[in-house]
Amino acid sequence: MAKTFGKVVIASAIGYVAGLLLAPKSGKETREDVKKKAEEVKAKAEVKAEQVKRAAKTGVKDLKASASNVEKEAKGMAKSATDSGRVVRDEAERLGEEAKARGSRVADEAKKTLGDLRDDVKKNVK
């Protein structure tokens, strides 16, 4: 877009200068018109330059704010993931302990049942 704008400005300036040179005015009048138009173009260019500077500053400010927000979100997600990992670890440990306790109870019951079965076999075999 900047290239197109630059081309339009140059073409306009060339057209204006050509019109002035071909117009039936005295050299003094033509020089005054050229000087006046050059001052107008300079003033417009300064306004545009200031607008571009402000837009750039705003863009940089917005970019920094966005980067800061992304950083905060990433830190929040990392904390959440860490917290979730701890919860999962703790739950896995609890379930492991529970499985161990149940396994122990089942083993104890199996031993008792085996002992009872041996006793029944001994009574019935005699």
What are the pLDDT digits (tens) for 90-124? 999 999 999 999 999 999 999 999 988 888 888 88
Residue 116 confidence (pLDDT):
86
Nearest 10 degrees: Cα torsion 67, 71, 73, 79? 180
Which residue has better confidence, 76 or 29?
76
pLDDT of residue 66 exceeding 80, the answer is yes
Tokens of 66: 């966005």
Where are the chain's structural domains?
A: 2-97
122/44 Cα distance (integer angstroms): 114
- For the chain, the average pLDDT equals 86
Q: Which amino acid makes up residue 64?
A: K
DSSP letter at 23? S
